[in-house]
Amino acid sequence: MTALTRGSVRPNQWLRNLNAKIASIPMILTAVVIFLGGTIWTVVYSFTNSKLLPRLSFVGLDQYERLWAAPRWIISIQNLAVYGFFSLVFSLVIGFVLAALMDQKIRFENTFRTIMLYPFALSFIVTGLVWQWLLNPQFGIQSIVRSLGWTSFSFDPLYDADIVIYGILIAALWQGTGLVMCLMLAGLRGIDEDIWKAARVDGIPMWKTYVLIIIPMMRGVFITTLVIIASGIVKVYDLVVAQTSGGPGIASEVPAKYVYDYMFQAQNLGQGFAASTMMLITVAIIIVPWAYLEFGGGRKRG
């Protein structure tokens, strides 16, 4: 009888943490109305012939055909692929190596950590302008090295169409690597000290300890870092505008700049919406499989 009484007064599952659920309603509405609604609106109007103002004049896949026939768009995709690959690889490798060195309980650790993280506090525009000056052949790194006697030294990536994207990559790595280092350092500090002791007792070399034991244990940290880096790669815009404005010519164009230029300068909303939709699809291709493996696959295994 007591069990039945307890069961009858058991609160409804939907009423649990009611205050928290009520407090989350504005954020849920924001996500649904603004983000989801804006996404659907963009996709729908990408099939229209909208110019200065959006209008429901459907033209089928014409905007996408024009998009993929545009050399500027193809170059922007190629640049994003190169920039994204090297940014992911170098950010993770350099960030992890710096974190591993910082984890050795060095002196003035707080000072070094602050110095490494400081560039991340700057805006992308400031970073772009600083590196535009540093990579200027007339008074930047090239000029300084030549003044020291190496008159044949040449380093002007922002003025060479073949390697300009690597000049932008240098600025991005300088700004973002410090954050990656801090994330990795937090993950390393979360490793139980007994694991390090056991590895030393078993005579496992340091590099094998990192590769076979520590890095697999930091899987969550690496996934979080990858998501942060990837989000910055897809929306890269400020650095390009500040350093090259897409030049020389269209050699350093990126998708985000293509979208902005067509929507707000060329007054071709339909083309801008089509490019935005392609960016959305690219992100979905990357994120959806990861989300399924990380959450859906994890639940099934559990």
pLDDT in tens, the chain (302 residues): 444 444 455 556 666 777 777 888 888 888 788 888 888 999 999 999 999 888 888 999 999 999 999 999 999 999 999 999 999 999 999 999 999 999 887 888 888 888 888 999 899 999 999 999 999 999 899 999 999 999 899 999 999 999 999 999 999 999 999 999 999 999 999 888 899 889 888 888 888 999 999 999 998 899 889 888 988 898 899 999 999 999 899 999 999 999 999 998 888 999 999 999 998 888 887 777 777 766 665 544 44
Question: How confident is the model at residue 293, as a pLDDT?
Answer: 67
Q: Which residue type sits at 36?
A: L
3-state SS, the chain, equals: CHHHHHHHCCCCHHHCCHHHHHHCHHHHHHHHHHHHHHHHHHHHHCCECCCCCCCCCECCCHHHHHHHHCHHHHHHHHHHHHHHHHHHHHHHHHHHHHHHHHCCCCCCHHHHHHHHHHHHHCCHHHHHHHHHHHCCCCCCHHHHHHHCCCCCCCCCHHHCCCCHHHHHHHHHHHHHHHHHHHHHHHHHHCCCHHHHHHHHHCCCCHHHHHHHHHHHHCHHHHHHHHHHHHHHHHCCCHHHHHHCCCCCCCCCCCHHHHHHHHHHHCCCHHHHHHHHHHHHHHHHHHHHHHHHHHHHHHHHHC
Measure the CA–CA gap between 150 and 121, rounded to whole angstroms: 34
